């Protein structure tokens, strides 16, 4: 890989891909150490133990080594298999919401992120006893551990993107290494056009025209993308990869850029930043003030989500009534 990358650099000096080699050198040995994978699996299972929709297969340590990993066998369909979900009466929107909630918790709150969520590693099933929908998370070889400084800046950046605070988008993009390429960085993170980012990424879903515009611009901005990837913190590279894999799943399920995913991200960002402020608070009064502020902001988000649901139900009721009237009306 290193020889090939150096050869490409000789032909195209503007393309900087040595970071790809550095990451491969660091991650491949970890992915091939199955004891490391088993420890990651147990760590994430404990970390997300309150999520009753998540299943991480049990590790059988007495029969495992660096080269052999024995795990509990769990069946399920791939997370992008809509036909399997419909056949087994699994709610697609519920699965998408759970997936977003799980990854928001990993990235923003814990800073310990499963970085290979392709459909073969994320299964869905009905729990054999309760009948509830479950996500089964497999292949725990590749995790990214985020530093606290990176995690908090990333929280603040996503909050700014969701709230359309462009000054803070610029500030925290630059703190994460984007420099003057911060508009491109924001577009890469959200997979939205710069116009959509400025209007608000939660205001409207991605259109076919916008998707085509993004694909065309990606080809046009390859040197800038290469430069950006070479300058952002190495932690960001696997996060970008993880974002793309999750976005691909959401696109297949038809739930991309849903309001619920942004609300879950907001909740996790608020909790993470409040926890950081509480640790730094020098008095009981200040900690209490932060707790009340956190609770009030989370209550506002819950109220907003409730209003969105009521609005959605009302719209569904109107459509149902209209269809009923049309079927009764004489031709």
Q: Which member of 33, 50, 116, 280 is catalytic?
A: 116
Q: Is 116 a catalytic residue?
A: yes
HEC per residue, the chain: CHHHHHHHHHHCCCCCCHHHHHHHHHHHHHHCCHHHHHHHHHHHHHHCCCCCCEECCCECHHHCCCCCCCECCCCCEECCCHHHHHHCCCCHHHHHHHHHHHHHHHHHHHCEEECCCCHHHEEEEECCCCCCEEEEECCCCCEEECCHHHHHHHHHHHHHHHCCCHHHHHHHHHHCCCHHHHHHHHHHHHCCCHHHHHHCCCCCCCCHHHHHHHHHHHHHCHHHHHHHHHHCCHHHHHHHHHHHHHHHHHHHHCCCCCHHHHHHHHHHHHHHHHHHHHHHCCCHHHHHHHHHHHHHHHHHHHHHHHHHHHHHHHHHHHHHHHHHHHHHCCC
Tell me which residues are annotated as active site: 116
């Amino acid at each position: 890989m290193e020889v090939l990358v150096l050869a490409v650099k000789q032909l195209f000096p503007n393309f900087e891909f040595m970071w790809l080699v550095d990451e491969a050198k660091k991650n491949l040995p970890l992915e091939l150490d199955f004891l490391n994978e088993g420890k990651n699996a147990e760590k994430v299972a404990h970390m997300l133990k309150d999520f009753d929709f998540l299943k991480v297969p049990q590790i059988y340590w007495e029969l495992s080594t660096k080269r052999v990993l024995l795990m509990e066998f769990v069946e399920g369909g791939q997370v992008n298999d809509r036909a399997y979900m419909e056949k087994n009466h699994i709610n697609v929107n519920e699965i998408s919401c759970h997936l977003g909630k799980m990854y928001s918790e990993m990235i923003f709150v814990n800073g310990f992120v499963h970085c290979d969520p392709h459909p073969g590693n994320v299964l869905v099933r009905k729990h054999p006893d309760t009948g509830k929908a479950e996500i089964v998370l497999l292949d725990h070889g590749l995790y990214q551990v985020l530093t606290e400084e990176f995690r908090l800046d990333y929280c603040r950046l996503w909050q700014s993107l969701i709230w359309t605070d462009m000054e803070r988008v610029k500030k925290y993009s630059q703190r994460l290494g984007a420099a003057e390429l911060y508009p491109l960085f924001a577009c890469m993170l959200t997979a939205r056009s710069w116009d959509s980012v400025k209007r608000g990424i939660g205001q409207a879903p991605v259109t076919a025209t916008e998707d085509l515009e993004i694909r065309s611009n990606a080809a046009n901005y390859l040197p800038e993308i290469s430069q950006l990837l070479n300058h952002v913190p190495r932690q960001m590279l696997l996060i970008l990869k993880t974002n793309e894999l999750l976005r691909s799943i959401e696109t297949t399920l038809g739930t991309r850029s849903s309001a619920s995913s942004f609300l879950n991200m907001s909740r996790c960002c608020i909790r993470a930043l409040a926890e950081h402020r509480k640790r730094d608070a020098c008095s009981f009064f200040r900690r209490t003030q932060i707790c009340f502020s956190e609770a009030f902001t989370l209550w506002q988000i819950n109220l907003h989500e409730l209003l969105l649901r009521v609005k959605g139900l009302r719209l569904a009721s109107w459509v149902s009534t209209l269809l009923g009237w049309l079927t009764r009306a004489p031709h």
